C-alpha cells in the first residue's frame, strides 16, 4: 500500500531509526544511512555550539588562576616587607639607643652599677624590650651589670658572641640561651675608654617582644611567619616547623637585599608560596632571615568556590544544550526521512504506473490480434457442430462432439481473457451518479445466492446508518465490489463466513470492508497481488488480472485499497472512497 505524507506524519517521530528496510524503495531514497546522518548532525551542532562556551570557561579559569597567583605573590611580598621593616625597626631602634648611650656617657659613669641601672630603667620606659645592661671590658670580664640575673663577675672571653662583638662596632646575636638558660638576644656596641681600650655596652633583649612583633603579621591560619638563622634553625616558633631552636630542613634561600617571593621546587602542586627577606640594620647585619609561607587556599577560597559554582552552571547549561541539540537533530532528520520516504513511495508508484501502462498497451495489442482468429475459430467450430446435428443423416460421434465442446470452451475462456485485458487497458470516461452502496452490495450478493446456499456460507452485511449515498461511477464501483466478493467466495470453503461492513469516515470518506474466512494469502504473495497476471489460484481458474483491474479502478475513483491476510485465517480487503468523486479536471 502506498502511504501518503499525512500517514507518514502520524508515525512515531523516530521512524528513521525503526523503519523496516524495503528493497523496492531503497533505490529511490536520496540518503541511505539516516542514523549516521543523525549522529553527525548531533556532533556538528554540539561542537559548533559548545566549543565557544567550553573555551571561554577554560580561558576564564586560567585567568582566575593567574590573577589569584599574582594576588598571592603581591600579598606575600607585602606581608614579608612589612614584617621585615618591623623587625628591623625593633632591632635598629634598640641598637641606636645603645649607641646613643655609649656616645653621650663617659666610661666611668657606665661602670657605675647604680647609674647603669637608671639607664636600663630609662631604656625600658623609652623603648621596652630590654632585659638587662652590662659593661664588658676587652678581656671579656663584666665590669658592671644592671638587670634581674646574678651575672656579676662573669667572663665572656670564650663566648663566640663576645669574640664577634669585639671585631666590629655593632653586633646583634641570634637567639640563644647562654648563662641564663632562657632564649634571648644580645645587642652590643663597641667603644673605647679614656685609655683607648675597647669595651662593650651589651644589652639583652626580650625575645617574646620580638616574637610578638613577628606574629602580629600572621593574618590567618593559612599563613606561617617566623625567623630562622643562616643554618635554618628556628628563632621564633613556627606553625609548620615547631618550637624555637628546631631545625627546619629548609633550603636556605639565596641572599638578596630586597624581599623575594618564590615557589619552592619541592612544592610541585604550587599550593603555597614563600616570601623571605634577610634582616639587616643600617649599622650591622643580623643572623635572622624572615620567612613567610602563604597557602593558596587563603586567597583562592572564595575564587575556588565561585569557580566551582560557575563550572556547575556551565555544566548544567551544556547538558541542557545537548538535550536540545539531540531533540532538534532528531526532529530534523526524522522530517528529512519522512519527506524522502514519501518521495520514494511516489517514485515507486510512478514506476508501477508506467509498468502497468506498458503492460496495458501490450495487452491491448495481444487482445486485438487474438480476438479475430478466436472469432473465426468460434464461428467455424459452431458451424461444424451444427452440421453434425442438423444434416439429413446426423452423425452420432460422441468423441468428436466432446472435442468440439472442448474447443468451444477454450475459445470462450480465451474470449474472457481478452475481454478482461481490454477492460484493464481501456480508459473509460467516468460517469458520476448517486450510488446507494447498500443496494449495490445487495444486488451483487444476489448473484451468489445459489452458491451461498450450496456451500453453506454465512454472509452478513453491516451498513452504518450514517453512510450517505455517494457521488461516484456506479459501474466501476460495482466491478470493484464484484471482483472482491467473487474472490472471497472462491477462497471460502464450505460453512465459511463473509462479512461486509460499510462505515462513514467523517467528513468526506466511506470505508467498505470485505472480510472472509478463506485460505488467506501468504506474506510473500501479499506483496504481488496487484501485479497483472499474478494469481494464486490453481491452473485455469484465474487470469491474474482481477485485482490489478480492481486496484486501477479504485485509483480511478480517487480511493485507496488495503489488504490484510493470514494463511489459514482469512483475508480483509478495505476500500476507502470519497463521498463525492471529483472530476479529473477539478481534482
pLDDT at 425 over 60: no
pLDDT in tens, 130-177: 999 999 999 999 999 998 887 777 888 888 889 988 998 999 999 988
pLDDT in tens, 307-326: 788 888 988 999 999 999 99
**Cβ-count burial of 473 within 10 angstroms (0-12 exposed, 13-18 middle, 19+ buried)?**
buried
Output the pLDDT for position 259. 92
Nearest in space to 534 (alpha carbons), one of 522, 523, 521, 547: 547
Residue keyed to cell 484493464:
424
Here the cell at position 7 is 500517514
Nearest in space to 291 (alpha carbons), one of 328, 240, 329, 367: 240
Beta strands in 104-197 (DSSP E): 130-137, 142-146, 170-172, 184-192
Output the pLDDT for position 90. 92
| Percentage of the chain modeled with pLDDT above 70 | 84
pLDDT at 5 over 50: no
Residue 575: band (very low, low, confident or very high) from pLDDT cuts 50, 70, 90: very high
Q: Are 195 and 119 in contact (CB under 8 A)?
A: no
First to last CA, the chain: 21
Output the pLDDT for position 170. 92
Output the pLDDT for position 422. 62
Q: What are residue 288's phi and psi, to 5 degrees?
A: -100, 140
Pairwise CA distance, residues 577 & 558, whole Å: 7
pLDDT in tens, 209-230: 889 989 888 877 778 999 999 9
Q: What is the mean pLDDT of residues 516-532?
A: 79
Amino acid at each position: 500500500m502506498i502511504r501518503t505524507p499525512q500517514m507518514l506524519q502520524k508515525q512515531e517521530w523516530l521512524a528513521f531509526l525503526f523503519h523496516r528496510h524495503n528493497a523496492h524503495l531503497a533505490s529511490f531514497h536520496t540518503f541511505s544511512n539516516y542514523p549516521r546522518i543523525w549522529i553527525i548532525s548531533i556532533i556538528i551542532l554540539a561542537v559548533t555550539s559548545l566549543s565557544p562556551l567550553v573555551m571561554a570557561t577554560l580561558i576564564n579559569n586560567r585567568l582566575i588562576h593567574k590573577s589569584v597567583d599574582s594576588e598571592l605573590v603581591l600579598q606575600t611580598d607585602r606581608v614579608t616587607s612589612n614584617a621585615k621593616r618591623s623587625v628591623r625597626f625593633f632591632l635598629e631602634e634598640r641598637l641606636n639607643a645603645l649607641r646613643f648611650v655609649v656616645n653621650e656617657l663617659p666610661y666611668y659613669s657606665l661602670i657605675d652599677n647604680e647609674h647603669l641601672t637608671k639607664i636600663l630603667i630609662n631604656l625600658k620606659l623609652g623603648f621596652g624590650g630590654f632585659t638587662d645592661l652590662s659593661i664588658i671590658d676587652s678581656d671579656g670580664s663584666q665590669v658592671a651589670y644592671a638587670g634581674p640575673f646574678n651575672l656579676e663577675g662573669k667572663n665572656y672571653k670564650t663566648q663566640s658572641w663576645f669574640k664577634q662583638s669585639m671585631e666590629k662596632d655593632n653586633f646583634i646575636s641570634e637567639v640563644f640561651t647562654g648563662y641564663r638558660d632562657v632564649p634571648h638576644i644580645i645587642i652590643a656596641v663597641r667603644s673605647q675608654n679614656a685609655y683607648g681600650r675597647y669595651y662593650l655596652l651589651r644589652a639583652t633583649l626580650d625575645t617574646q617582644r620580638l616574637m610578638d612583633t613577628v606574629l602580629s603579621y600572621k593574618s590567618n591560619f593559612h599563613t606561617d611567619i617566623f625567623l630562622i638563622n643562616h643554618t635554618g634553625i628556628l628563632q621564633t616558633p613556627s606553625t609548620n616547623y615547631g618550637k624555637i631552636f628546631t631545625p627546619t630542613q629548609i633550603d636556605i634561600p639565596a641572599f638578596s637585599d630586597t624581599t623575594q617571593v618564590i615557589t619552592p621546587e619541592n612544592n610541585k602542586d604550587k599550593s603555597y608560596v614563600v616570601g623571605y627577606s634577610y634582616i639587616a640594620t643600617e649599622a650591622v647585619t643580623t643572623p635572622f632571615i624572615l620567612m613567610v609561607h602563604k597557602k593558596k587556599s587563603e586567597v583562592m577560597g572564595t575564587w575556588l568556590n565561585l569557580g566551582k559554582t560557575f563550572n556547575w552552571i556551565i555544566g548544567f547549561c551544556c547538558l541542557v544544550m545537548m538535550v536540545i541539540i539531540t531533540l532538534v537533530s532528531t526532529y530534523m532528520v526524522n522530517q528529512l526521512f519522512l519527506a524522502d520516504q514519501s518521495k520514494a513511495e511516489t517514485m515507486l508508484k510512478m514506476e508501477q504506473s508506467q509498468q502497468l501502462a506498458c503492460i496495458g498497451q501490450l495487452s491491448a495489442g495481444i487482445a486485438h490480434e487474438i480476438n479475430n482468429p478466436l472469432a473465426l475459430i468460434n464461428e467455424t467450430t459452431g458451424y461444424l457442430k451444427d452440421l453434425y446435428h442438423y444434416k439429413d443423416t446426423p452423425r452420432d460421434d460422441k468423441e468428436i462432439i466432446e472435442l468440439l465442446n472442448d474447443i468451444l470452451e477454450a475459445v470462450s475462456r480465451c474470449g474472457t481473457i481478452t475481454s478482461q485485458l481490454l477492460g484493464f487497458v481501456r480508459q473509460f470516461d467516468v460517469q458520476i451518479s448517486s450510488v446507494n452502496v447498500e443496494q449495490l452490495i445487495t444486488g451483487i450478493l444476489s448473484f451468489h445466492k445459489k452458491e451461498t446456499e450450496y456451500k453453506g456460507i454465512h454472509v452478513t452485511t453491516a451498513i452504518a446508518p450514517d453512510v450517505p449515498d455517494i457521488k461516484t461511477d456506479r459501474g466501476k464501483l460495482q466491478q470493484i465490489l464484484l471482483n472482491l466478493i467473487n474472490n472471497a467466495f472462491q477462497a471460502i470453503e464450505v460453512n465459511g463466513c463473509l462479512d461486509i461492513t460499510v462505515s462513514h469516515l467523517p467528513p468526506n470518506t466511506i470505508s467498505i470492508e470485505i472480510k472472509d474466512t478463506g485460505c488467506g494469502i501468504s506474506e510473500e504473495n501479499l506483496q504481488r497481488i496487484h501485479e497483472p497476471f499474478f494469481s494464486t489460484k490453481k491452473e485455469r481458474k484465474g487470469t491474474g488480472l482481477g485485482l490489478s483491474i480492481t486496484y486501477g479502478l479504485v485509483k480511478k475513483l480517487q480511493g485507496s485499497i488495503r489488504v490484510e491476510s493470514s494463511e489459514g485465517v482469512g483475508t480483509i480487503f478495505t476500500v476507502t472512497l470519497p463521498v463525492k468523486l471529483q472530476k479529473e479536471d477539478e481534482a
